[in-house]
A and B are shown apart, each in its own frame.
Chain A
Amino acid sequence: MRGLSSTLRMIDWTGWLGAGIVLVMVCAAIFAPLIAPYDPVALSIEDRLLAPDMAHWLGTDQAGRDVLSRVIFGARASLAVGIGAVVIGALIGVSAGLFAAYKGGLGDQIVMRIVDGVASIPLLVWAIAIVGILGVGPVRVGPLLLPNEIKIVLLVGVLFSPVFARVTYAVASRVVGADYVRARWLQGATHWDIVSGDILPNCLSPIIVQGTLLVAIGIVVEASVSFVGLGVQPPQASWGSMLSDARSAIYSGEWWLPVFPGLAISITVIGFNLLGDAVRELFDPRSEARTLVA
């Protein structure tokens, strides 16, 4: 194993920048109530549309709410959807990819063709269409009442799963043929032990890289869905809905309304992309390929 210090030295400054951005955003999301100077949903008519100053660093919106506080609280929705969708997508996709690669034959064909089918669904269009059909209110699934955010996480997660399935499948089908897997099978190890102990650990690095990069796309999807009013519902803050609310302000000169949530989205997405690239370099310094999704 490489030592920790030499491993960290392999990360260049862009990687550290990405990690720093991600860390700041995650802290903002977790500690939002402690950091935010104002209540993000508190209305104040006399404070409406104030330009950035010492009291309101990023100004206030049409309802007199503090933009900085709303940007900080908006990180919660963005990261929750981005990370939640990646976790769901990884659970489904990695299982499917492992199953197909390990099982082979007809099972492999069936699973991977289903994956192809799901992958052919344009992510954003379907996310908007399905939430549009189901409505933005909570949906009852059996005994569970799913709030809109969970619905979006599940939906985006399912639509992310083909990426994980294909990455896992590509690596796992090579690992499955390795002699150490065959040796374990000859010893009579259970399929579960072989898959979880020998195959999955040797597939993890590209899965982690892919997951980091997909968080960025999840954030964009959340912003887009909220932008068209199908995501996080007002008065809760979300970068996408803040941008949407700011449309009317673009021509009237309140530049701070669109700029700051827009910057928050861009910087966070860049942060996850830089981090993902750094993680990729870490796992495989030879890899030049960039994976493009959505």
Chain B
Amino acid sequence: MTGPILSLRGITKSYAQGTAFDRLFGRDKRFVALAGISLEIARSDVVGIVGESGSGKSTLANISVGLTRPTSGEVLLDGEPLSALMRDHGGPWRRRIQMAFQDSSSALNPRKSVSRCLTETLALRGVPKPEREAEALAMLALVGLGAELAPRLPHELSGGQRQRVGLARALAMKPDILIADEPVSSLDVSLQAQVINLLSRLTRELGLTLLFISHDLALVRTLCSRIIVMRKGEIVEQGPCLDVLDRPTHPYTQLLIAAVPKGIKGRRQQAATVDIASPISPARESAG
């Protein structure tokens, strides 16, 4: 397949605002979350989507995986419309696109052990029962977690560990494309670096297509090859990551870059780039 793995065509999303009374008299307004987004993601590309809170980044992510229905427009997965694929709820196409969530505290069912969480995912992928346990441990190892975590419940894990289990769960479906909605914003800086390094390694090793949603320009710079800048539901600028960040043409992008405090920016970049080996080296494992 040579076409884009994921393409969005004229996606809009708006929500009704105001009371029923307003609507009755035609005084309601619609809040526009996305105002006609079109974009294409090439296979094995690592794309960052940045923008301030409320710019529609998460809505875009939810629409791309089918969690939210767009008001108009179409999502194409390998050229097939998502709306048609979704009629086959548990179909094999589910393997192609998966999502990693922002909040590590609600990403895992509090009553399911890590191993159960992964094995039931593997069951849905069609892995035969006897192989599931071993495969689950392999998924844990992939995200740099040891087998001793398998019997634990989510509250017995640290935030970073939970986030990586969530990632392992998404990866257990063997997706072609992973949409990561602010996967590190709830983590502290050193854990952020671990997860970013992990994602970077996975994209290199598995050829995973990654759509990385973040408001953190330094992280996007480290990880992504392309960047899309969003503002108020529109794409204001896109292109190769370094080009856009070093030579922003749109005033909003310039504003975003200028808004990053210099000192913090430097430190973040350091944290994210220096410890490339840290997520997989057990010596640096942060527990508890």
The verdict on A189 contacting B67 (CB below 8 Å), with A179-B106, A180-B108, A183-B170 known, is: no
Cα A85 to Cα B112 in complex, Å, equals: 31
Contact of A189 with B90 in the complex, beta carbons under 8 Å: yes
The verdict on A187 contacting B124 (CB below 8 Å), with A179-B103, A182-B101 known, is: yes
Is residue A120 within 8 Å, beta carbon to beta carbon, of the partner chain? no
Against B, the Cβ 8 Å flags (1 = close, 0 = not) of A92-136 are 000000000000000000000000000000000000000000000
Chain A neighbourhood of B98, CB < 8 A: 186-187
Contact of A179 with B107 in the complex, beta carbons under 8 Å: yes
Residue of A nearest to B111 (CB): A201
Residue of A nearest to B67 (CB): A182
Chain B neighbourhood of A187, CB < 8 A: 94, 98, 121, 124-125, 173
Is residue A1 within 8 Å, beta carbon to beta carbon, of the partner chain? yes
Is residue B110 within 8 Å, beta carbon to beta carbon, of the partner chain? yes
Query: Which label, helix, strand, loop or mixed, suits the secondary structure of the B interface?
Result: loop
Cα A283 to Cα B187 in complex, Å, equals: 28
Q: How far is the CB of B18 from chain A (nearest CB, A)?
A: 19
User: Which of A1, A183, A201, A202 has a CB less than 8 Å from the CB of B107?
Assistant: A183
Q: How many residues of chain B have a CB within 8 Å of chain A?
A: 29
15 extra A-B contacts, CB within 8 A, seeds A183-B170, A190-B90: A178-B109, A179-B107, A180-B107, A180-B109, A182-B67, A182-B99, A183-B169, A186-B65, A186-B94, A186-B97, A187-B173, A188-B94, A188-B124, A201-B111, A202-B110
27 examples of A-B residue contacts, CB within 8 angstroms: A178-B109, A179-B101, A179-B103, A179-B106, A180-B107, A180-B108, A182-B67, A183-B99, A183-B101, A183-B166, A183-B169, A185-B67, A186-B66, A186-B94, A186-B98, A187-B98, A187-B121, A187-B125, A187-B173, A188-B89, A188-B91, A188-B124, A189-B120, A190-B89, A197-B120, A202-B109, A202-B111
Query: Measuring CB to CB, which residues of chain B are less than 8 angstroms from any residue of chain A?
Result: 65-67, 89-91, 94, 97-99, 101-103, 106-112, 120-121, 124-125, 153, 166, 169-170, 173
